[in-house]
Amino acid sequence: MRLKELRNLLDNKKIGAVELVKEHLNQIEKYDKNLNSFITICADEAIANAKIAQSAIDNGKSKLLTGFPISIKDNIITKDIKTTCASKMLSDFVPPYNATVIQKIIESGAVIIGKTNMDEFAMGSTTQTSYFGNVKNPYNTDYIPGGSSGGSAVSVSADMCVASLGSDTGGSVRQPSSLCGVTGLKPTYGAVSRYGLVAFASSLEQIGIIAKCAEDTAYILDVIYGFDEKDTTTSKSHFGGYTSLIGSDIKPLKIGVPKEIYTHNLDNEVKEAFVKSIEYFKSIGTEIVDVSIPSVEYAVSAYYLISSAEAASNLSRYDGIKYGYRSNEYADYNTLVKKTRNDSFGDEVKRRIMLGNYALSAENYENYYKRAMTVRKQLTSEIEYIFANTDVILTPTIPNTAYKIGEVDIYKIYNDDMYTSLANLTGYPSISTTCGYDKNGLPIGISFMGRKFDEKTIVAVCDDFENTFERRGNDYEIHSGNRA
Amino acid sequence: MSKTKIDLETAEHLADLSMLEFSPDEFDKIINVMENMIDIMNKVHDFDSSKTQSNQSFIEYTDLRTDMNYNSYQNEEILKNADVTENGCFVSPKTI
């Protein structure tokens, strides 16, 4: 069921806000011990807020999100609700303020149902690096859900909320959405405020939306987008209306397919599903054109260099003094900070900080960081050139489906970010949805990248595709009552 | 390009910059992983940067907000997340 339909059901009293929230809390109770997608469940607060939402509905004062149970990735700051970043470092951190996006969804009536599990500090694409344990894929619990917003994707896929806010630094919203059979939107850099998003790689990351379909992601983007004086990288040049092109004729659009995608370890089943998707667009008369991103082969190395460098800088704030974990064993300031960070950061976080400092060190700066920034500029030029004559760029979301838990090759998984990291390096919006299933029944993802601040076009194209593709459910879907 | 090697001295220097500590065994492990990751990063050395005019980011910064006084947080609220406090202050080991 789409959010706009759910809005109608709530506003027409066919379903109650408290009933809706309780149904999702039951789902969490029933399945999340196994899936482990939540770090914090806000049961009491959610029911209390659902009552307030119902009262607004009863008084004819409902807003776009009134009564909707929404989960939040645990690196987005929530006032008086623990925000841990899935790290021992922040395992007891209770923020005194809300992120701008949280303020906006609360003002729109949303009910925060809980905070979702993730890779520690959003560093990873498996959700296996959390201090709070591994998250499992709802389609098959032997497999990873992807990451770093793995808990968010699982919470939507297993019907434990109607949508989730995540963050996407190199594909962290789209990749788990792809692996968990849901839809994930990374907006244009600057479309959504990052104020209150715990910083990992500030020039790459955006808060994104995970939901059951493209229209739902746009529905929520209409609430959270916008200029924010607390984030000077937010733009004033966008105006909402992200669902406005849904249902329009997409035939006149030109869709570009980069020729390079077929040469980079593309899994056969993913390739087959991707080619079939292209055939669909051809069949309805949309023009498919070959395009080229010659420098795409450098995207992953540039992404890891830039993100690690920014991580080294951003995470230097954790010293154990003002907030967060603090070691008891120290003789002086330096040993306090070192011991604190040593005891409370996981291996992946330590590796990225070390790599970031390697890339930024005097002897390597020119050869690594500066060169990575040049790659970034070149990729931006190549994508800009494509969008001069093309409306949408189509790629697989990642070259494969989910890995089995315990069988993840960290070096291979870095290279899987090739297509997703493009949107982060260049700032363009991108949305991922399901386009097939592999032999194990695991979802395969396809991504639509669009022009800057033109989310409405990719949402419309993605929505059109979703209307013709029959998604398979998983065992966790709610099949009872009005949500059937 | 041959694989980049990280010697112990470099790793110790990086650990110092990163404000991290490692045991000898942990150093062996992290050096190995870092060398493999640097191998992935070394791909940027194959990139011909001569045709790219600039390395400037696409990020545009909007005007800075007016510098005005706003109500801030109460002291107690800010100190709530600090593990050790004294007389309304954070407590740090002596540095001077």
Of A324, A333, A375, the CB nearest to B95: A333
The reported pTM is 0.96
Percentage of chain B modeled with pLDDT above 70: 94
pLDDT single digits (tens) A45-61: 999 999 999 999 999 99
Longest dimension (CA), chain A: 71
**Å between B2 CA and nearest CA of chain A:** 15
Q: Contact at 8 Å (CB) between A111 and A17?
A: yes
pLDDT single digits (tens) A225-258: 999 999 999 998 777 899 999 999 999 999 999 9
Grade residue A290 by pLDDT with cuts at 50, 70 and 90. Answer: very high
Of A96, A354, A377, the CB nearest to B14: A354
pLDDT of residue B59: 76
What are the phi and psi torsion angles at A123 (to 5°)? Answer: -100, 95
Grade residue A414 by pLDDT with cuts at 50, 70 and 90. Answer: confident
Mean pLDDT over the full length of chain A = 95
Note if A73 is an active site residue.
yes
pLDDT single digits (tens) A130-149: 999 999 999 999 999 999 99
Per CB-CB distance under 8 Å, the chain B contacts of A321 are 82, 90-92
Catalytic residue among A71, A73, A155, A447: A73
pLDDT single digits (tens) A374-404: 999 999 999 999 999 999 999 999 999 999 9
Among chain B residues, CA nearest to A381: B52
Whether residue B78 and residue A96 make contact (CB cut-off 8 A), yes or no, is yes
Of A304, A326, A336, the CB nearest to B41: A304
Whether residue B93 and residue A336 make contact (CB cut-off 8 A), yes or no, is yes
pLDDT single digits (tens) A319-376: 999 999 999 988 899 999 999 999 999 999 999 999 999 999 988 988 899 999 999 9
pLDDT of residue A484: 30
Q: Compute the average pLDDT of residues A304-330.
A: 96
Per CB-CB distance under 8 Å, the chain B contacts of A300 are 40, 43
pLDDT single digits (tens) A201-219: 999 999 999 999 999 999 9
- Token pair for residue B33? 């992983």
- Restricting to B residues 35-74, those with a Cβ less than 8 Å away from any Cβ of A are 36-38, 40-47, 49, 51-65, 73
- Ordered alpha helix ranges (H), chain B: 8-17, 24-41, 75-79
Q: What share of chain A is helix, strand, coil (3-state, %, to 5)?
A: 45, 15, 40
Catalytic residue among A108, A130, A148, A149: A148
pLDDT of residue A22: 98
Percentage of chain B modeled with pLDDT above 90: 65
> Which of B19, B21, B74 to probe the A interface (max A CBs under 10 A)?
B19
What are the phi and psi torsion angles at A450 (to 5°)? Answer: -125, 180
Of A300, A370, A426, the CB nearest to B55: A370
Grade residue A478 by pLDDT with cuts at 50, 70 and 90. Answer: low
Note if A13 is an active site residue.
no
Whether residue A361 and residue B17 make contact (CB cut-off 8 A), yes or no, is yes
Cβ neighbours for B80, distance < 8 A, ≥ 6 positions apart: A94, A96
Whether residue A298 and residue B92 make contact (CB cut-off 8 A), yes or no, is no
Residue by residue, DSSP assigns A27-89 as HHHHHHHHH--EEEE-HHHHHHHHHHHHHHHHTT---TTTT-EEEEETTB-BTTB---TTSGG
Q: How far apart are CA A266 and CA A262, in angstroms?
A: 6
Q: Contact at 8 Å (CB) between A121 and A86?
A: yes
Q: How far apart are CA B1 and CA B14, in angstroms?
A: 23
User: 3-class SS at B24?
Assistant: helix
Which of A158, A185, A157, A156 lies closest to A171 in space, CA to CA? Answer: A185
> Which of B30, B44, B46, B54 to probe the A interface (max A CBs under 10 A)?
B44
Grade residue B1 by pLDDT with cuts at 50, 70 and 90. Answer: low
Q: Contact at 8 Å (CB) between A65 and A164?
A: no
pLDDT at A409 over 90: no
Whether residue A338 and residue B19 make contact (CB cut-off 8 A), yes or no, is yes
DSSP H/E element including A431 = strand A430-437
Q: Is B91 on the interface with A (CB under 8 A)?
A: yes
